[in-house]
Structures are given as C-alpha cells and as structure tokens.
Amino acid sequence: MAAQPIGRHFLQIPGPTNVPDEVLRAIAAPTIDHRGPEFARLTREVLDGLGPVFGTTNPVVVYASSGTGAWEAALVNTLSPGDRVLAFETGHFATLWRDMAEALGLRVDFVPGDWRRGVDPDTVAERLAADREHTVKAVCVVHNETSTGVTSRIPEIRNALDQAGHPALLLVDTISSLGSIDYRHDEWGVDVTVSCSQKGLMLPPGLGFNAVSDKALRARESARLPRSYWDWKPILEANRRGFFHSTPATNLLYGLREALRLLDTEGLPQVFARHRRHAEATRAAVRGWGLEVLCADEREHSAALTAVVVPEGHDAETIRELILDRFNTSLGAGLGRLAGTVFRIGHLGHFNDAALIGTLGGVQLGLRLAGVPVGEHGINAALDVLGRKETA
Amino acid sequence: MAAQPIGRHFLQIPGPTNVPDEVLRAIAAPTIDHRGPEFARLTREVLDGLGPVFGTTNPVVVYASSGTGAWEAALVNTLSPGDRVLAFETGHFATLWRDMAEALGLRVDFVPGDWRRGVDPDTVAERLAADREHTVKAVCVVHNETSTGVTSRIPEIRNALDQAGHPALLLVDTISSLGSIDYRHDEWGVDVTVSCSQKGLMLPPGLGFNAVSDKALRARESARLPRSYWDWKPILEANRRGFFHSTPATNLLYGLREALRLLDTEGLPQVFARHRRHAEATRAAVRGWGLEVLCADEREHSAALTAVVVPEGHDAETIRELILDRFNTSLGAGLGRLAGTVFRIGHLGHFNDAALIGTLGGVQLGLRLAGVPVGEHGINAALDVLGRKETA
Amino acid sequence: MAAQPIGRHFLQIPGPTNVPDEVLRAIAAPTIDHRGPEFARLTREVLDGLGPVFGTTNPVVVYASSGTGAWEAALVNTLSPGDRVLAFETGHFATLWRDMAEALGLRVDFVPGDWRRGVDPDTVAERLAADREHTVKAVCVVHNETSTGVTSRIPEIRNALDQAGHPALLLVDTISSLGSIDYRHDEWGVDVTVSCSQKGLMLPPGLGFNAVSDKALRARESARLPRSYWDWKPILEANRRGFFHSTPATNLLYGLREALRLLDTEGLPQVFARHRRHAEATRAAVRGWGLEVLCADEREHSAALTAVVVPEGHDAETIRELILDRFNTSLGAGLGRLAGTVFRIGHLGHFNDAALIGTLGGVQLGLRLAGVPVGEHGINAALDVLGRKETA
Amino acid sequence: MAAQPIGRHFLQIPGPTNVPDEVLRAIAAPTIDHRGPEFARLTREVLDGLGPVFGTTNPVVVYASSGTGAWEAALVNTLSPGDRVLAFETGHFATLWRDMAEALGLRVDFVPGDWRRGVDPDTVAERLAADREHTVKAVCVVHNETSTGVTSRIPEIRNALDQAGHPALLLVDTISSLGSIDYRHDEWGVDVTVSCSQKGLMLPPGLGFNAVSDKALRARESARLPRSYWDWKPILEANRRGFFHSTPATNLLYGLREALRLLDTEGLPQVFARHRRHAEATRAAVRGWGLEVLCADEREHSAALTAVVVPEGHDAETIRELILDRFNTSLGAGLGRLAGTVFRIGHLGHFNDAALIGTLGGVQLGLRLAGVPVGEHGINAALDVLGRKETA
C-alpha cells in the first residue's frame, strides 16, 4: 500500500469537490478593503452572477458559513418559536436539518422514509390538506440528498402545496444540487433556497447562501426566532451599496466570481447535461459490477452522486480506505444508518470523462482487491455511455 | 490622479490586514476530504497552534464565520433569553455587540462612553458591587476597540470582578488584538474570548473563534438561547476525533496553519514588541504633523491601530480617498459618530518598518495634498522611534 | 464536441508533464535577490538534492534554458570545431541532436536506425574498435528516446566503450528519463548527462542540466568550440559561493527544490517501480486493443512513455485531436518520420493509477469514436496489471 | 537585528524586481502542451504584446535563458569569428558583454570609461569615421548600465552611425531599461535589442529577448559564429505557427502575458513617467542626505535605478547588510570596481510612491544606524518631488 499519496488526488466525495486551478489561484489574490470601491465591484459581480445559478431575480444572501449555517439562516429568518414545520426523512442530512429545527425551538412533523427515495409529492399533498388550520408554517425539502444520491422532485412538491392551497413556506436545501442539477428558485416557487460553496459551485467550503422570495422576506417581518448574524435585512441593505453587514469571506468571493465565470462559459444547460451523463455512466458501471444503486426510484437518481450498496459480508469502510490508500481517491462514507453498508461516488463539480473513468477504474479495482466479487464489465459499461453522441 | 492602482497595495485598514504570500499560497492548496486522515492531522495542528496565541490550554472553537458570528456564538452558548449583560460604550464595535445582544433577547446595561477611552475598571467594580442579586450574567468587553484605537485593560477588569466577588462571566472581544497585543485567556480568567482570522492572525476573513473556559462550558449546560450552528458541544466532540461538526472552511484552515507557523517563528513576545514599536512610531508621526491621536489615555494606546483626529474644516473621507487614489494605500474610515472626523491607520499583522514608513509617508503627503496644514517632522519623528535600539 | 475544456486537463504528452500543485505554488513565491543569503541557501539545497537524482557526487550545472540548450552545453564544453562524434539514429530527438552537432561544426558519424530500437551496444563496440586512431571524441546517446518510447541500455554501451578501450567521452541525453527511469551517472561512467526540468522532474520547462564527470571537466580545458553562456566553469565557481554566473531562473529553482523533496519523499526506487508498472499496464492496454507498441525490443520498452502504432487507414493526428477535444487529454504526436502513424502516451512524472486509468479509458474510447477497430479488453488488461500486488 | 525577515520584502535591487501578485499567480497555472492549440494562442498573444514594448513591428525572439543568453544570441546570429566590434566601458555589464564577445572569438575595440557616464555619441562618431574600411561590424551599447545608473542616449548614438555613414550593426542591451525607460527599436534604427524578463517586465528571471531588424536578419545569413540554440531562424519559423523550436518556458510566458497586460493597462507613457518621478525623488533624497549620485551627467540619470556613492571611511556592503537585516530591504551592491563604494537603489518595475517612500526611509535610517552622517531632509525632499502635481 502506498505510504504517501502519489499524483493528483481524486476528490470523489460528494463535496467538497475538486476545486479548479483557476478558482484556487483566484482565492490566493491579496485580501482587499471590504469597504472600498474595488470590493463594491466584486460584490456586484458575484451577486449578479449568482441569480442565474439559483434561477432567481430575487436577492441571494451570502454568508461566511458552511451550508449548515445557511440552513439555520433559512429557519431563523422565517419562523417563530414553536412553529410547526413539515419535513421528510429522505436521509442523513434531512435528519440533521430536522434536529437543527428542533434545537432552535420549532416543532417538526417528520415523515419517515427508507433513505432510498425522495419526498413523495402525494404525501406532501395529504399532509397539507389535513392541516386545515394552516398550523404548518414551512415545508422543508432536501433537493438532492447527499447521503443517498436521491433527488426529490421540487416542481411536483410545489404543485402539491398549490393544490392544497396551503400558505406554508417552501424551504429547499440545494447544497449538493446547485450548479450540478437543474434548479429554478423562481419558477418553482421556492421561498428559501439554501446552498453552499463546496459542491457544484466548485469552491472550497466557507460560503453559505439563501435565495429568498418576496414571501420569505415578508415572513421575516413577523418571524420571532432570535437572529442577528443570519438576519437577511442588514446584509441586503449593505449589499445594495456593494458591501456586507459583517466582514465577508473576501478571498472565497474572489473564487466565487471565478467559479461563476466558469459555469457561465460552459453554460448551465451543458453543465447539467454533463452531470446527467456522468451519473448515467456511473450507474452503468455499478450495474456492470453486479452491485446495487441505493436510489430506488428511476425518476430520482441524482446527477451529482451515486450511492452504491455493498454486498452483505463486506464493509464499505474497508473498501473506501483501500481505495484511498491505493488509488489516492476519496469516496464518501455511508452516513447514519447507512454506515458501513454504502459508499458514495461524487461525480459533480469540476469534472470530466477522463476523471470519471479514472475514478470508476479505481473503484472497480478497489472492489476486486477488497474481495468483493465484481463483474469486469463495469468500466466498459461506463465507457459505452460516455461514448454515445453527446446531446447538450 | 492614478486611474488604476499601481504597485503593491498597502492595506492599512485595521483589518483585514496584509496577508503574507505564504498564507495566500497555503490557502490555494486543493481542498481535501474533511472526513479523511489528512484532515484530522490539519485539525490537530491548528487547534494545538491556536492555544498559545489565545494564552489558553482550554479548547478554542473555530467557526466558518466572520468575527460577528463569533460574537453571537459567545452569547448563545452562555446566556438565556432575558439575561442581563453589562457592556461598555467604548466605540462602534462595542455598540454593535450591544445591538446584537439585544436582538438576541438579552437585556444590556450599556455604560456610556466618549469613544476615546477603554473600559474603566472602577466602573466595572461599582456596577458589579451594586448588583447584589447577581442578576448580571455576563460582562462584555472589547479588548481593542477597532473603531478608536483604544485598548482596555483586561487584567484590571478581571480584578474588578474578583474584588466584587461577582460570578458574572467575562466575555472579551479580541478581534483586532489577538496575535498583535499581549493577551492571556487563562491567566486573566476570561470565560469566552471572541476573535477572528483577518487581523493579527494575518488571514483573509472567514474564520471566527471562541476560546472557552470551563466555567463557560458549564454555563452552556443551562443557557437557553436557541443555538445550533454555534453550539460548542458538537464541534468540540468532533474536534476530539480531528473533525468538525459541519463542513469547515478547509482552505482557510490551511492558511491558519501557515499563519500560526509564522507567528511561532517570529515569537509572540517579538510580535507584540514589533506592534508596540510601530504604534509608538505612528503616534510620533501624528504628533509631528501637529495632529491629535483619538485615544485619550496614555495607558490605553492601541498597538494595532491609531485613530487620527482630522482638524476641523477638513473631511476625513476626502483625505482617505485621496490617499487611496494617489498612494494605493487603504486607511480605515471613521465609524459611527466618528464618521468624517477621524481616519484610522492599521499597523498590525504582517508588517515591517519599511511598510510603516511607506504608509506614514503616504499619509503625510496625502494630508498636505488635501490641504491639511501638517508639520514636516512627522515622518522623521517616526524614523527616530524606529531607529532606536530594538529591545525584543 | 466540447467547445472548451472541462475539468482538469490530462497532460499525457511525454513532457512537459503534469506539474504537482505543490510545485506550482512553490514557483509562485516572490522572486528574491539572486545575490543574497536566502538565495545561497536555495542554491545549496537544489544542488545537493540534484546529485542523487542523477546518481552522481559530481557537479550538476543548472541553466536557464530548455533541454535543447543543455544539449548545446554538453557539446561546446567538451569538443572542438571539426571533432568527430558518434551518434545513433534512434528517433527524432537523436536526429535533432545530430543536426545541432553539425550546426556547431562537429562531424557526426550517424548510425542509421529504424526508430523502433535503442542504441545497439555491439555496434558501439564495433565502431569504436574500428576507430584505432581515436578520432571519435564523443559518443552521444539518447537514453530514453521521447519520440519512440525506446530506452537504450547505457550500462551495456558503457561496457562497449570500455571493451574497446576507447577514450571517447560518453554524452547521454536523459531528458525524458531522469527522475522516471533508473539512471546512474557515476556508476555508468557517463561524462555528461543532459537533462531538463519538464519531464520526470515534474517542473515547467525552463531549466536545463549537465551533470559532468571529472573527465568532462578536463576535456573542457582543451575544447575550443566558442562558449560563454554555456561555459561550466564560471557557473561552477559561482555555485561554490551559493550563486550563479548569470541571473538564474529563481522561481523555477523554488519549484525544483519542492520537486526534489517530492521525489525524495516517495523514494527514487519507488518512483522508478511506479513508472515501470504504469508502462506495463499501458502496453497491456495497447495489446488489449489489438494495436502495436512501436518499441520492437522487449528489453527497451520505455517506462516513461509508450508510442502506439495506428492501424493503416487511420490518421494519428485525427485521433489525437478527437481525444483532446472530447476527453481534455493531450497525447504526443508522431514526430518526424512517424508523423501521422503513431501517437504517444506519456505516463511519467506526477502520476498515479487513477490518472493512468482515466488516460487509457479516454484513449480506448477515442480510438473507438475515431472508427479505429479496438478490442474492449484494453482497459481491463491495464487494470489487471495495476491490480497485482505491488512490489516496490 | 531581526533573525528572520518580517513582513513583505522590499526587493529594491535593480532587478530582479518585485513581481506583481497577478504575475506570480499567472505563472502558477498548470503547464500545457507546447504543441497544442491553446499554446498557439498564448504564443500569439505574447508576441503581439511584446512589439509595442520594444517599439517595433519586427519580430521579437523569446528564449528560455537569462539576459546573458540574449547577449550571446545577438552576437552569434550576426557576427563571424574574428569580426571587430566597437564597445564602451560604461560599467560592469558593458565589460561583461565585452568579455563574452571575446570569449566567442570576436575582437572588441573597448573604449575606456569612468563608470559615471554613458556612451559618448561623439566618440562613436569619431571611431566610426576613422574606420574607413568598415571593419567594425557591430556597435554594442548598454542602454541603461545597471551597475551605475547611467542611461546612454541611443538616438544620438544612432545619429553618430548615420553621420559616419557606417554600416555597422547597432546592438543595444535594454536589460534594465525595457518597460521602464522610453525605448524605440524601430524609430532609433537598432538592429538587435537585447532584453530579459526580470526588470521592467516585472517577471521572474528565465526569459531572454532579441528584437531584430531586417538588417540583422540579413546579417544572420552570412554570420558564421556557430549557433544552434540561439539561432533566430527556426524559432521565428516555429513562431509563425504559434510554437517554439525548442520547448519554451511555458509558465513564464503565462506571466509575460499578464505583465504585458499590466503595462498596457497603465500605459507605457505613464509607466515611463512614473519611473522618471521615482528616480527624481530618489536623487532628491540622496542630495538631502548630503550624498553623491554616481551618474555624472544630468542628461544620463537612469529612471530605473540610482547608484549612491558612500562617503569615504564607510563600506557600502556593511550598509547593505544592515538595511537587509533591519528593514527587510534588498539593495544592489557595487559591482566590479565599484564594490564597497557604491550601493544601488532599484526603483523600477512594479512599484509605487508608498513603496519608494518605505525604501528611502529604510535607507535613510540604515545609513544613520551604520554611522554615516546623513541629513534628515532626504526623505522629505523625496516627498516634495512626489507631492508635485502629476503630469502623465
């Protein structure tokens, strides 16, 4: 086993993702005065560039924080102590968001799930229809559940709210989908879109985002959860002048400007198509190995990552460690109830066919070396998908 | 006037400060798996290195946040809704912290001040002695008030608490002092030390810190302000295994490791002595120009920055803009009630005699070009101080 | 076809090679005074570190130049106008070196070759035995012919000189072997070893090297080709004091220091074994595709690159362009008489299994998309080789 | 004395100069295929950008080399063994160029000088007038003598050649003037302009340049000094297709592209005016200290550097070391016959008023600390110059 990593690391966890060299160099620029004219230009460039990525013409609030902080921001700006929230057990991160909501003093109706499926729009409809008093103040949905590789269908969920004529806010976590999977804050009527920097945006971690609807901004007026750092209002006011309320993470904003430029140059439709192709090729490999993809619904396969079920009698962690040691490739662990039984292949962000082939080849070989009986066709099945005529 | 900045920028605001090249290159290293073995080593290195800088053997909690976030963390981990807090109007940032405490539902006894002096230890003693019922739960002090260039005397304040036999927690903001001005969390009996990355630690903004005493950790057990992102407990638990509770700002941690190495190589006593020399040279220049330093108490001159009072009839903002345009040097604006009447020279962080001379020369010339009558002796007075035999 | 490259580029030409991130960051450090004390330390570190890589305790001369410059240096320091030189047509670069020697006024006996084999030691022996007058002053050998992927056997060639009792100097080009393929300047009795930065040393181009034997240094005394920039003597004299005769390429020297550290950490035997494994895996893939490796002698397969013969009726350039466009992977073109009929896969330098798999997968798919009939087993044959128990 | 340098280094030798952060980050971009389409774009951009800086529409040849290599290139492309060359002892570098010419087999008529003056146009005229047979094949002039801070007047020298009706080539070294001092290859009828990267072009060392006139290109046809690496022809041929004859120093070319962009953004006339102002301010400081500028002719003061004569009884090297240790500022040593009696202040390249003030302040203080009796008015005299209304 290699004692030290050799060659370029393959960071194939579902985030943080491989940061482009251009972005790394951008964040190495000298820090500037966050109250000066050059900073004001930077602010405007990144805020202007973020809108299209979220699919919104409404404001996007940028925090120095992780995505977890952006979860908190979504809740404390819109809700009051004791408010009821409807949430869904789609996996580990949905469960953590539920825990946070409860820690902040909210009451969460948590619809159980088997961690292999997204949010069921029918269940949303039923639950909301049953809430005649409109005591549910918000519906929390994780768009792409990073722990399972399952993507919930937001437009259908939106439709369920509309059909029920229910006024609850729709809060959506796009932490591992934004910039990788088609997403439309405005068109889909989302009230708060939560995201962060280190996945599809191809940045290091350290920035959290809230895209906010007018309805969310109005909800803020009466929401009574204590808030200060996360408060949208002073940030948006400062943004209008080109600044931030508290000192922003300047160098990550340099990186964000560069990452937005890269996304814009490739084109969002091309970015999304690339992610879909890579996901399809990955699933083809998994099936070629004779293994099972965790996601149980064809409509909900994530374009950003694929969770692979490890056959009984094998430990996913042993496999992951072997692949890290031997192939300098990081894969995602099974989280929560999936610990040891699942590993996750991230194929999102700054990525291409050659890197995917290298990743899948390392996984195929790693599985074999770990004694997991796998079919040899995996890698060639992936090549077959990648060899098809590209249709952007 | 130069249309574009030429040459190396002089970032002489009192933070963010000039980031060393080594630190900028460190943060440009590829992002790694925040759950992998290499990350665990990084975590241990930065946490081990932070202790001496805070003067503590207790834990230091690291957030992806600005310093403002670290303020909030100090409050929500230790206090409950409606708790009384004693705070002091030493300047703009003390006032903002007060505002935050109130926004979070605390009641603040705010001792008024003239923005030219630090916290008066006698007043602390009086206020606490008067609080027989011990309804004051925390005393909030800004160690180095970034808006005024005044440094409060924490050991004397600690003494005041002790003399009063008052059990209130002592919360200290070291945002613009840590790594620049001598500070001792343990020795001075501070319960929560709040700080951030972009000042004496010579990093870009994006990291917030809380050093926490055992008493503060115990206070957390009963504190009832809602908290999740800022909650110390899950972070400290994850830290023990080398990780963080939510995704940390990996690349800034690379920079932190490098910055801690730089501070350690120079030696903290040498770092503090350097800051004192530069502050003294700066004050000598200000007096040589015939201008007034804002700080009114000789015992409280900040070693990190100097606020200069602009003579009546002149606008500090005009002077700052001229110096930025003409000398590519950023100075700090007067904040809050000091707007327009004061400018601030930051002389902290990654800095040396030549850079200070360049800064002061630019200010001398900028003042003259702005029509402020200034003595020529300013720069030479600074040289006289810098030319004295160094005594580390 | 992708209009712009997406994801990390795979630079799989046989040099310049993929530069490690650490090296790229190292060369971005600020330039320093090339006559100051810090520079003297740098000089000593890189010169000390180079010796083991060349397998010498003799001096290594470092030029600001390409490898072509280092060729010229080897000739002008040791030879006089009209001197006879024995050289071998092993490929494009051996031919270019011949051209250079002639341009500089030397007479070259150029032994013809078929560009599929290395230098034949028996031919060396015969030629030198026939040279009873010792009119041949130098034997020029390309260790690893970058245009063909054939490695000549230097120890056997040395033996041929020794057997012939011929005093000719042995000049060896290790441009694409140094740091990738076992090489021993002293042990093999080489007089001048020519090399450069951008291959196994994992640096950008811009540095040329001459390792020189005592015999070569003595030859310099009487050699009369005009020389100034390339003259070893003033450089070696300056090196002794830690400096260079003319301004050195400081920032590339920073990178060299870092690259030498990386090689030392991995260990040269491990580095060479890695290159051999990757070469073997690549040849397995080529055979699995049903294609032919250009190198015709099993003893001479290059560990650094593999030249692949394209079946008749197909154009290697079309294939290369397709693979560049579609897989963001650069391959080497066929050079000189091999133009259009051969492409070259570089597998040297900063490289690992996952990157090799990605490269070979891209080639397999690219060949198929270009209409070349290739067997599917190629990639799996490579995986079989890579899956074997490593024996460093 | 500081044991380790603190803060940003002031690299005030007359080259290498302070490299802008943008340029350092540019050279840290991954190396690309030097035969691919992206490289061809890079080649065209840098070659197009170089023309205006040299003041030529003719080709500029770019070498991986130091400036010394570019000297050699100028000679071997245009001259034959035994050719006579007229050169002038303006200082250390003119002398080294003479030494090189002799080493390469040329005969040099070396007009003696006192190292305080540039080339006298009248002497050029006389010498050439006396050469009725036109045996002098080239006139070699150092435009800005880096060892003395004296700038020769090229237009007047050109005029002298013209007046004499002499066909000798005019070869000009602009190593420390290009990009800092007005220079016009075409307009002034220069045949070969020699330069390099690490001075006014604000790059690390590693690139050499020859701008070549049509007459020089014609001279190359019959010149018989051996040449291969330096041969213009194959390079210019490859350049036409976007490539180089031997592997170019790719990453330095990235830096060159960025540096040319910076020069273009500031504007060459503004760049030259800035250098003149800084030189004037520096001379004002020197006189304010009561010291002597080495350059003896008011018409020939260099805008790029100032050599300062140290009063008898003091050692320039001791002063330089003190200033390096104490102020982290590198100054240039006295070279050759000026060793110990002169130090040189570089004020060229990426530089601004604040950095100049910092430099001059450090020198003033360093002189005083070294016991040299200096007037205090130096720094203020410089400020007076810098405070004048700018006239770009």
Spell out which residues of chain B touch residue D24, defining contact as CB-CB under 8 Å. 21
Q: Do B229 and A65 touch (CB under 8 A)?
A: yes
Q: pLDDT per residue over D215-243, tens digit each?
A: 999 999 999 999 999 999 999 999 999 99
Residue of chain A whose Cα is closest to the Cα of D30 = A21
What pLDDT score does A390 carry?
62
Residue A75 has what pLDDT? 98
Q: What are phi and psi of A248, to 5 degrees?
A: -80, 165
Bridge partners (DSSP) listed for residue A212: A192
Interface A-B, measured as beta-carbon pairs within 8 A, has a size of 195
Which of D210, D228, D321, D324 is best to mutate for the C interface (most C CBs within 10 A)?
Answer: D228
Q: Is residue D63 scored above 80 in pLDDT?
A: yes
B357 closest CB neighbour out of D1, D357, D368: D357
> Does the pLDDT of residue D170 top 90, yes or no?
yes
Whether residues B316 and B174 fall in one domain:
no
Chain A residues lying within 8 Å of C352, measured CB to CB? 5-8, 327-328
Residue-averaged pLDDT of chain C: 97
- Count of alpha carbons within 13 Å of D386, Cβ hemisphere only? 31
- If you count them, how many residues does chain C have? 392
Do the domain assignments include residue B374?
yes
The H or E element spanning position A170 is strand A169-173
Size of interface B-D (CB pairs under 8 A): 126
CB nearest D21 (choices: A21, A22, A30): A30
Q: What is the pLDDT of residue C390?
A: 62
For A41-99, what is each residue's pLDDT tens digit? 999 999 999 999 999 999 999 999 999 999 999 999 999 999 999 999 999 999 999 99
Nearest-Å Rg of the Cα atoms of chain B is 21
Average per-residue pLDDT for chain D? 97
D105 with D188, same domain: the answer is yes
Amino acid present at B193: T
Radius of gyration of chain D (CA): 21
Is A158 domain-assigned? yes
SS3 D170: strand
Confirm or deny that C158 is annotated as ligand binding: no
Do D159 and D52 share a domain, yes or no?
A: yes
Strand partners, C140: C87, C171
Q: Which structure tokens are listed for D389?
A: 């209304």
Nearest to C29 among B21, B29, B30 (CB): B21
**Among all residues of chain C, which has the CA nearest to that of B30?**
C21
> B4 in a domain, yes or no?
no
* pLDDT mean values, one per 10 residues, chain B (392 residues): 77 98 98 97 98 98 98 98 98 98 98 98 98 98 98 98 97 98 98 98 98 98 98 98 97 98 98 98 98 98 98 98 97 98 98 98 98 94 90 46
Q: What is the mean pLDDT of residues A115-141?
A: 98
Instruction: Choose one of C207, C232, C264: the last residue of a domain.
Output: C264
Q: Does residue D27 share a domain with residue D169?
A: yes
Record: contact C34-D16, CB cut-off 8 A: yes
Across D266-282, average pLDDT: 98
User: Are residue C305 and residue C210 in the same domain, yes or no?
Assistant: no
Q: Is the pLDDT assigned to residue D282 strictly greater than 60?
A: yes
**pLDDT score recorded for residue C376:** 86
**Mean pLDDT of the region C28-49:** 98
Phi/psi for B73 (5° steps) reads: -60, -40
Nearest CA in chain A to C323: A354
Instruction: Identify the pLDDT of residue B47.
Output: 98
Subunit partners of chain D (3 or more CB pairs within 8 A) = A, B, C
Please indicate whether, in this complex, the C-beta atoms of D25 and A25 are within 8 angstroms of each other.
Answer: yes
Question: Is D25 close to A28, i.e. CB distance below 8 A?
Answer: yes
> Per the confidence metrics, is the pTM higher than 0.95?
yes
The pLDDT of residue A5 is above 90: no
Contacts of C15 in chain D (CB under 8 A): 247
Here the tokens at position B140 are 């909030």
Domain residues for the domain of A219 are 21-264
Residues of chain C contacting D69 with CB distance shorter than 8 Å: 64-65, 69, 229, 246
Contacts of A364 in chain C (CB under 8 A): 383
Question: Which residue among C21, C22, C30 sits closest to B21, beta carbon to beta carbon?
Answer: C30
Q: Please report the pLDDT score of residue B2 as a whole number.
A: 42
Out of A21, A29, A30, the one facing D29 most closely (by C-beta) is A21
CA distance A8 to chain D (A): 12
Shared domain for A70 and A122, answered yes or no, is yes
CA distance D171 to A314: 75
Whether this model's ipTM surpasses 0.90 comes out as: yes
Sort out which chain A residues have CB atoms less than 8 A from C369's CB and list them: 387
CA C314 to chain A, closest CA, distance in angstroms equals 19
Chain B positions with Cβ closer than 8 Å to C:
21-22, 25, 28-30
Q: Do residues D8 and B18 lie in contact, with contact meaning Cβ atoms separated by under 8 Å? A: yes
Do D104 and D28 lie in one domain? The reply is yes
Answer yes or no: do D236 and D208 share one domain: yes
Quick check: C29 and B29 CB within 8 A? no
B1 in a structural domain: no
Which residues are B84's β-sheet partners?
Answer: B107, B136
Domain boundary among B264, B295, B310: B264
Tokens 């560990």 appear where?
A: C303
pLDDT above 60 for C183: yes
Closest in B5, B352, B368 to D6, CB measured? B352
Identify whether D3 is part of a domain: no
Mutation site, C21, C25, C380, interface A, largest A CB count within 10 A: C380
CB contact under 8 A, C24 and D32: no
| Residues C115-149 pLDDT 10s | 999 999 999 999 999 999 999 999 999 999 999 99
D197 and D61: one domain? yes
Residues D28, A30: C-beta atoms closer than 8 Å? no
Evaluated on CA atoms B273, B276, B282, B288, the torsion sign reads: negative
Token pair of D186 as six digits: 């075409």
- Amino acid A389 reads K
β-strand D144-145 against D150-151: which pairing, if any?
antiparallel
| Centroid of chain to Cα C38 | 31
Task: Confirm if C201 and C224 have CB atoms less than 8 A apart.
Answer: no
d(CA D84, CA D107): 5
Question: Could you say which of C327, C379, C380 has the minimum Cβ distance to residue A353?
Answer: C327
A215 and A254: one domain?
yes
How many CA atoms, within 13 angstroms, populate the side-chain half-sphere of residue C253?
A: 29
Please state, rounded to an integer, the average pLDDT across all residues of chain A.
97
Number of domains in chain C: 2
Cβ separation C205–D36 shorter than 8 A: no
Using pLDDT thresholds of 50, 70 and 90, give the confidence band for residue D2.
very low
Chain Cα centroid distance, residue C92? 13
> For A292, left (φ over 0), alpha (ψ -120 to 50), or beta?
beta
Tell me, yes or no, whether B250 and B274 share the same domain.
no
- CB contact at 8 A, C160 and C251: no
Residues of the binding site of D: 344
> Is B158 in the same domain as B201?
yes
Nearest-by-Cβ selection for D198 from C71, C247, C324: C247
CATH number of the domain that residue C326 is part of = 3.90.1150.10
Axis crossing angle, helix D377-387 with helix D353-369, rounded to the nearest 10: 170
Can you spell out the DSSP letters for B226-269? --STT-HHHHHHHHHTT--SS---HHHHHHHHHHHHHHHHH-HH
Report whether C323 contacts C331 (CB < 8 A): yes
Contacts of B22 in chain C (CB under 8 A): 29
- The pLDDT score that the predictor gives to residue B389 is 72
Contact assignment for D383 to B369 by CB distance below 8 Å: no
Residue type present at position B272: F
CA distances from D61 to B316, D50, D77 (A): 52, 10, 12
Rounded to a whole number of angstroms, the distance from the CA of C213 to the nearest CA of chain B is 39
Residue C75 lies in a domain: yes
Please report how the helices C268-288 and C250-266 are oriented relative to each other, as an axis angle in degrees rounded to 10: 80
* Domain boundary, last residue among B264, B294, B311: B264
Is there a domain that residue B125 lies in? Answer: yes
D388 contact partners, CB below 8 Å, separation of at least 6: none
| A8: chain C residues, CB-CB within 8 Å | 8, 18, 20-21, 350, 352, 355
Which pLDDT value is given to residue C392?
A: 43
Q: A299's torsion region: left (phi>0), alpha (psi -120 to 50) or beta?
A: alpha
CATH of the domain at D220: 3.40.640.10
Write out chain A residues lying below 8 Å of B231, CB-based: 103
CB nearest to C66's CB, from D104, D231, D246: D246
Q: Considering the domain boundaries, does residue D1 fall inside one?
A: no
* Pairwise CB contact (< 8 Å): B7 & D369: no
**For an interface test with D, which of B1, B6, B25 has the most D Cβ atoms less than 10 Å from its Cβ?**
B6
